[in-house]
Amino acid sequence: MDRFAALVPDEAEDLRRLKSQGVLVEAWSPGGPGAVLIIEAASEADAEGIITQLPLTVAGLIDVALTPLHDLGI
């Protein structure tokens, strides 16, 4: 937990940077461990590349599951 807590400021900084770049569209917390991030990317591989560079992922402290979303056009 100490290692996780030490990386949270870096994770938050990276998420703010991604938000300012328009890459991170939304970020949600379930109220406990975990998060849901809406990433704007050209492909699933691009999204994975973005997520795998975040500090908590690099440190192996979180698991990532990608779910591609598609615009319904409505």
Nearest alpha-carbon partner for 18 in 61, 43, 51: 51
Give 2-23 pLDDT, tens digit per residue.
999 999 999 999 999 999 999 9
Whether residue 66 is contained in a domain is answered as no
The residues with which 28 forms a beta bridge, in sequence order, are: 36
Whether residue 31 is contained in a domain is answered as yes
Q: What sign does the dihedral 4-38-52-15 (CA atoms) show?
A: negative
Whether residue 42 is contained in a domain is answered as yes
Question: What's this model's pTM, rounded to 2 decimal places?
Answer: 0.87
Give 10-63 pLDDT, tens digit per residue.
999 999 999 999 999 999 988 877 899 999 999 999 999 999 999 999 999 999
CA distance 24 to 37: 7
Structural domain total, the chain: 1
Whether residue 49 is contained in a domain is answered as yes
Whether residue 9 is contained in a domain is answered as yes
Domain membership of residue 31 as a residue range: 2-58
Whether residue 69 is contained in a domain is answered as no
Whether residue 32 is contained in a domain is answered as yes
